[in-house]
Structure formats: C-alpha cells, structure tokens
C-alpha cells in the first residue's frame, strides 16, 4: 500500500459505514481490511493514520467529502 491509495481506501470504508463515519470507525475498517498491506508498507506502517487524515482532507478539497460533528466527535461524510 502507498500513500496515494489512501483516498480510495477512505471512500471504501465510508461506503461500508453507509457514507458517514468517525475517524476511529474508518481507521478500524482500514486496519481490518488492509492490515497485511500496511504492515508491509515500510514507513507508511508508522504513519498511516496520520496519512489517512491527509487523504480525507484531499477528498474534502476535491468536494467529495465533508466534515462535521456527531456526539462531540468528528465525522467524515461522503458527498453524493
């Protein structure tokens, strides 16, 4: 896995969550589905959660994702 893969991985996780999820919910799904790839990714293994947030920001910049709050926690929501 590479940093460039993370926007698609975030979208896939959010799709599975019905289009909206907290950072933690998204991270859990990414870890569940990509643990082996992340472990084999070199330095990305140590930075993937940070890089995931940058991927989400990139998606926001492209108008594909919005950010909000739910129960005091930040949530990402796919735009349709």
Predicted confidence (pLDDT) per residue in 30-47, tens digit: 999 999 999 999 999 999
pLDDT at 69 over 90: no
Average pLDDT, the chain: 94
What residues make up the domain containing 63? 3-78
The structural domain count of the chain equals 1
pLDDT band at 74 (very low <50, low <70, confident <90, very high): confident
In this structure, how many other beta carbons lie within 10 angstroms of the beta carbon of residue 60?
Answer: 14
CATH of the domain at 74: 1.10.10.10
């Amino acid at each position: 896995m590479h940093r460039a893969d993370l926007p698609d991985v975030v979208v896939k996780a959010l799709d599975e969550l019905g289009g909206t999820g907290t950072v933690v919910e998204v991270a859990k799904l990414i870890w569940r589905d990509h643990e082996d790839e992340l472990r084999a990714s070199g330095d990305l293994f140590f930075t993937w959660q940070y890089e995931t947030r940058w991927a989400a920001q990139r998606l926001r910049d492209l108008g594909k994702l919005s950010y909000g709050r739910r129960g005091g926690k930040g949530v990402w929501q796919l735009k349709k």
